[in-house]
Chains A and B, each alone.
Chain A
Amino acid sequence: DVQMTQSPSTLSASVGDRVTITCRASQHIGHRLAWYQQKPGKAPEVLIYEMSNLESGVPSRFSGSGSGTDFTLTISSLQPDDFATYYCQHYKTYSLITFGGGTKVEI
């Protein structure tokens, strides 16, 4: 199975900060990676798919990048609505779908 290691688990930041969350896959997964945002009491919502494609309606301050095993979600200027927990998920073909452990972005 592909293991997804996400870091940090918690991140303290302020409005306007540039925030970076990383996700490392235990093997090469190409571009088969998605990022989700989850707010308390709500289901996860996709932000980025195929490593760098922005989901329709998601603000352009969110971006995804990476290469093969190492991936990054960047929030260019943190807004009050962005305080949430973020998860990565791989979907490499013929491999068990797994998620990262999550990163909680807090003030």
Chain B
Amino acid sequence: QMQLQESGPGLVKPSETLSLTCSVSGASIRDYYWSWIRQSPGKGLTWIGHIYFFGAANYNPSLKSRVIISVDTSKNQVSLKVTSVTPEDTAIYYCARHPELIPDNWFDPWGQGTLVTVSS
């Protein structure tokens, strides 16, 4: 059974970089597209970006200048970095799989999510 587990600091200071990792078990990173999605009380669910191990990542234009998504096939992990964070980046961050091998897809399954708070 496929499982996704997000991990990383729960508290990040303004202007610093948020770094999260999604560890995948029960499936190979090479076989699917993977997305990061965040959920904040004020803005609901926002797709951040996706990646396939063989190719470039694609990002939400509203975040593109500050986001990097990468994969580590040796560790079967997907990573997210968001630079120059502000309190508006406070959210629950989820990683999720695209069930079909295409970038434009629904998401299944999702990780349990990790809350990141941006505060000094």
Q: Which residue, of B60, B61, B105, B113, has the highest number of chain A Cβ atoms within 10 A?
A: B105
Inter-chain residue pair count (beta carbon < 8 A) = 50
Residue of B nearest to A32 (CB): B104
A94 and B104 form a contact (CB under 8 A): yes
Chain B residues lying within 8 Å of A102, measured Cβ to Cβ, are: 44-45
Q: A44-B45, A87-B45 are in contact. Are A49 and B106 (CB under 8 A)?
A: yes
Instruction: Tell me, yes or no, whether A13 is within 8 Å of chain B by CB.
Output: no
B106 and A93 form a contact (CB under 8 A): no
Q: What distance in Å separates the Cβ of B3 from its nearest Cβ neighbour in chain A?
A: 12
Instruction: Tell me, yes or no, whether A15 is within 8 Å of chain B by CB.
Output: no
- Near A by CB (< 8 A), chain B positions 20-71 give 35, 44-47, 60-61
A43 and B112 form a contact (CB under 8 A): yes
Chain B residues lying within 8 Å of A91, measured Cβ to Cβ, are: 104-106
Name the contact of B106 in the complex, choosing from A42, A43, A89, A98 (C-beta under 8 A): A89
Chain A residues lying within 8 Å of B112, measured Cβ to Cβ, are: 42-43
B47 and A98 form a contact (CB under 8 A): yes
B60 and A43 form a contact (CB under 8 A): no
- Alpha-carbon gap, A5 to B64, bound state (A): 24
Chain A residues lying within 8 Å of B113, measured Cβ to Cβ, are: 43
Query: How many residues in A have their beta carbons less than 8 Å from beta carbons of B?
Result: 22
B104 and A93 form a contact (CB under 8 A): yes
- Near B by CB (< 8 A), chain A positions 66-107 give 87, 89, 91-99, 101-102
Name the contact of A97 in the complex, choosing from B94, B104, B111 (C-beta under 8 A): B104
- Alpha-carbon gap, A64 to B104, bound state (A): 20
- Alpha-carbon gap, A42 to B94, bound state (A): 11
Q: A43-B94, A49-B106, A91-B104 are in contact. Are A96 and B47 (CB under 8 A)?
A: yes
Q: Residue-by-residue, is A6-33 near B (CB-CB < 8 Å gives 1, otherwise 0)?
A: 0000000000000000000000000010
Which residues of A approach B to under 8 Å, CB–CB?
A: 32, 34, 42-46, 49, 55, 87, 89, 91-99, 101-102
